[in-house]
Amino acid sequence: MGRGPLVATGFGANGMTRALFIAGTDTGIGKTHAACTVLHALRSMGRSACGMKPVASGCIDTPQGLRNDDALALLAASSTPQPSYGQINPIALREPLSPHLAAAHEGVTIALQPLQAAFAELSARYDTVVVEGVGGWRVPLALPGLFAADIAKSMALPVILVVGLRLGCLSHALLTAEAIQADGCQLIGWIGNRIDPQMAAVDENIGTLRTLLPAPCLGILPYGLAAERAASLLDRVAMGF
């Protein structure tokens, strides 16, 4: 399954995408939904693919340990044989807070090294690893200066920005794209997610995003369409699949 070591940009020697980071304009706007859609798109092309949620807060206690809904959804959307839960979610925090606060409350120190180690294990087993961020791009992981963005930066992952299509998303999307690029990450494109079925002037807002965002639209995910079915709506060529 593995195709050798990752090159710096997350693309293999043949130009195929080997890893992606799924960023979002905010929390609760569809990063997990979009990441699962990307996983299904990869798998429908015969590629082995695995999700990863490096840091998750709001986990629940189970007999197997702390578990997070996002990580479980990514696991379910991953190729079989699936990885272990701990590989896809190395940092599982109980409280539904910003990770730096949940970690502090639980006496956990979030550092990049264990995340990178788990990512390397997954990269060796699957053609592509789809890494979901936590909250928005600048969510703190540890004070004074470790942020969600540093996961993507430290692993040199190409970034897809998921825009939750609702009132206010234009500024969130533009600022996030600006920050991704200012951090030296490659923004390969954006996915619009119809999180609000009542949103007014949707097509005009999507047109505005197409005009102003500095990367191509990779697809628009309709409201209420399951990830497996939405997979065909993604622009696989633009994603390097």
Ligand X SMILES: Nc1ncnc2c1ncn2[C@@H]1O[C@H](COP(=O)(O)OP(=O)(O)OP(=O)(O)O)[C@@H](O)[C@H]1O
Q: What is d(CA 187, CA 57) in angstroms, rounded to the nearest whole number?
A: 25
37 binds ligand X (CB under 6 A): no
31 binds Mg ion (CB under 5 A): yes
Q: Which region, judged by CB under 6 A, interacts with ligand X, from 31-39, 42-50, 149-157, 211-219?
A: 31-39
Work out what residue 22 binds among ligand X, Mg ion, none; the CB cut-off runs from 5 to 8 Å by kind. none
The alpha-helical segments, DSSP class H, found in the chain are 31-44, 69-77, 85-88, 99-106, 112-125, 148-154, 169-182, 202-212, 227-230
**CB of residue 13 to ligand X, shortest distance in Å:** 31
Nearer residue to ligand X within complex by CB, 26 or 127: 26
Contact 203, 69 (CB under 8 A): no
Work out what residue 205 binds among ligand X, Mg ion, none; the CB cut-off runs from 5 to 8 Å by kind. none
- Residue 153 annotated to the active site: no
How many residues touch ligand X (CB under 6 A)?
16
With tokens 């990869």, the residue in question is: 42
Binding positions for ligand X, 42-81, rule CB under 6 A: 70
Residue 156 structure tokens: 């040199």
Residue 47 structure tokens: 């590629």
DSSP letters of 64-109? TEEE-HHHHHHHHHSPSSP--HHHH-SEE-SSSS-HHHHHHHHT--
Nearer residue to ligand X within complex by CB, 28 or 184: 28
Q: What is d(CA 37, CA 41) in angstroms, rounded to the nearest whole number?
A: 6
Selecting among 40, 53, 100, 172, the annotated active-site residue is 53
**Residue from the set 57, 66, 70, 123 that interacts with Mg ion by CB under 5 A:** 70
Contact 21, 159 (CB under 8 A): yes
223 binds ligand X (CB under 6 A): yes
Nearer residue to ligand X within complex by CB, 7 or 76: 76
Q: Which region, judged by CB under 5 A, interacts with Mg ion, from 64-72, 95-103, 115-123, 233-241?
A: 64-72
Q: What is d(CA 31, CA 131) in angstroms, rounded to the nearest whole number?
A: 10
The alpha-helical segments, DSSP class H, found in 183-218 are 202-212
Work out what residue 239 binds among ligand X, Mg ion, none; the CB cut-off runs from 5 to 8 Å by kind. none
**CB of residue 221 to ligand X, shortest distance in Å:** 5
Work out what residue 172 binds among Mg ion, ligand X, none; the CB cut-off runs from 5 to 8 Å by kind. none
Residue ranges that bind ligand X, judged by CB under 6 A: 24, 27-33, 70, 135, 193-195, 221, 223-224
Residues assigned a catalytic role? 53
